[in-house]
Chain A
C-alpha cells in the first residue's frame, strides 16, 4: 500500500509527460479577408495569407487550387467572361512546430472579355497531407481556407502618352505653318491673269472659281470705265479752264503776252 502511494507522484508525472508530449500537428491561419483589385491585363501579388503549425510535430501541407466563380454584378453580364488566374506559392511544404509561413498569392486578370467592375470569388484551401486510407468509406482531411475577393479594375489613362501625342500634333501644325510662310508668293502677272479670268485651270474650272473670275472681270471693266470717264471729265475741265483764261486775257488786253515778252527779254539779257 505504501509502495503504491509512493508510486503515485511518479505515475502522475509520467501521465502529464505523455499528455503534453503526444505528437500532434495543427495547421492554423491568421484571420483576415484578402481583396485583390487587379487592373485588366495585369497581375498583382499579395503576401497576406499566413499559416502556421501550432502543434509539436512537423506538418506537411498542400495547397488545393481554387475554382474561381464570378459574382453577379448589377448592370454587368457575367456571361462569357474570362476568369482570373491564381497562383499560390509555395504550393507545398513542411512547417516545423511553432513555425509560420507567409504565402504569396498572385492573380492575373485577363483583359479579354472582361471589364472594370466585375468581381470573382476564390477559396483556396491548405490541407495537412496524410497517408490515411479508408476503403469502404471517406478519408477526412483537415485544413484552412481563405475566402478571396478579386475585383477587375480598368487601366488608368496614360497621361504621358497623351502629352506625347499633343506634342507631335503641335510640331506637325507648326511645321505646316512654317512651310506655308516659306513658300514663294504668286507673281503679279499670275495675279493679273487670275483677275482677268485666264488664271490657272484649277482656279477657273470650279463653279466658285468661275464666279470669282467673272466678278473680277466685271470689277476690272467697271474700273476701266470709271478711269475713262474720269479722264474725259478732267479733259473737259482743262479745256474749259483754258478757254476761260483766254477769254479773261482777251478782256484785259495783251497784258499776259507783254508779261511773257518782258520775262523772255530778261532771260535773254
Chain B
C-alpha cells in the first residue's frame, strides 16, 4: 500500500516539474487551454412589411372622391426606428389616365383630407419603431369628366433608417 506521505511527495514533485516546464505531458494533465477571441458586429437594420399588397377603392363617379380610409399597416421587423416614405404612379385604364397627385395619403383616417401622393418618394415623418406598426390611409379624387374605366396604380411604401 502506498502511504499518504508518498502520494503527497509525488504530487509535489509533479507540480515542481510542471512549473519548471520539464514535461509537456504534465502540462496537458494540469489542463492548459487555448483562447479564441470571437467578435460579432450586429448592424442596425429596418425590415418593413405591409399588411396588404392591394387596395380596392369603392366605385367613384367623375368629380367624386373615395375617402382617405383605405388602410395599409406598416410593421418594422428591424432593430432600428425607421421613417415611412410613400410614392406612386399615375392611374391607368388602357389609354385613359389621370395623375398620381389625385391620390391622397394621411396618417389618420378621415374624409377627403390628406397629402397628395407624388412620383418621387416623400418622407411621411411617420416613425415606426423596432417591432412596431403604423397605419397609412389612402383616398382618391377622381377628376371631373374622367373617362369611365377600371383604373389601377402602384403605391410604393418604403422605410428608411
Contact = CB atoms under 8 A, between A and B. Distances in A.
Contact of A31 (B45, B53, B87, B138): B45
A52 B138 CA distance: 29
A27 B47 contact: yes
B156 A29 contact: no
A29 B59 CA distance: 38
B120 A141 contact: no
A136 B157 CA distance: 19
Interface in B37-57: 43-50, 52-57
A140 B157 contact: yes
B77 interface: yes
B47 A127 contact: no
Contacts of B121: 64, 66, 123-125, 145
B99 interface: no
Interface in A90-142: 123-127, 130, 132-142
- Secondary structure class of chain A's binding surface, majority of residues: strand
A125 B83 CA distance: 13
B161 A132 contact: no
Contact of B50 (A136, A137, A140): A140
B54 A132 contact: yes
Contacts of A30: 43-45
Interface string A133-161: 11111111111111100000000000000
Given A123-B121, A125-B158, A136-B57, A26 B152 contact: no
Interface of A: 26-32, 50, 52, 54, 64, 66-67, 123-127, 130, 132-147
7 contacts: A26-B49, A28-B45, A66-B120, A133-B152, A135-B150, A138-B54, A140-B53
